[in-house]
Amino acid sequence: SQKIEQNSEALNIQEGKTATLTCNYTNYSPAYLQWYRQDPGRGPVFLLLIRENEKEKRKERLKVTFDTTLKQSLFHITASQPADSATYLCALDGYSSASKIIFGSGTRLSIRP
């Protein structure tokens, strides 16, 4: 069955460093991969989408890579700040309009001052 794996343990990073989160998937060939941020008690907020034919995408301090051979996406936050502390979810979507978005369980990121 389709499976998404994200770092189950929390990631603790010193402020100013680059945080790197990993999303691995199996038994799936997604057309798109998305990253969302979720704060406690809030719904997920969309951050970035990368398509299967894109290797890398950037938005301000965020960078996402997508390796369809390794079946992996890396999510980087450069110059991390305490305000970046949250849970980050990756999600996969297929080609057709009937395909469902599948979410990973998320990685909790803490940026310490």
Partner 1 sequence: SAVISQKPSRDICQRGTSLTIQCQVDSQVTMMFWYRQQPGQSLTLIATANQGSEATYESGFVIDKFPISRPNLTFSTLTVSNMSPEDSSIYLCSVEATGTDTDTQYFGPGTRLTVL
Contacting residues toward partner 1, per CB under 8 A: 4, 31-32, 34, 41-46, 49, 89, 93, 100-101, 103-106
Both structure tokens of 13 = 């990073």
Shortest Cβ distance from residue 102 to partner 1 (Å)?
Answer: 8
Closer Cβ to partner 1, 84 or 104, answer by number: 104
Closer Cβ to partner 1, 15 or 54, answer by number: 54
CA distance 112 to 70: 31
Quick one: which of 69, 109, 111 has its CA closest to 90?
A: 109
Closer Cβ to partner 1, 41 or 113, answer by number: 41
Shortest Cβ distance from residue 33 to partner 1 (Å)?
Answer: 10
Shortest Cβ distance from residue 15 to partner 1 (Å)?
Answer: 26
Shortest Cβ distance from residue 52 to partner 1 (Å)?
Answer: 12
Are the C-beta atoms of residues 45 and 62 closer than 8 Å to each other? no
Quick one: which of 4, 16, 14 has its CA closest to 73?
A: 4
Closer Cβ to partner 1, 70 or 101, answer by number: 101
Residues 6+ apart with CB under 8 A from 69: none
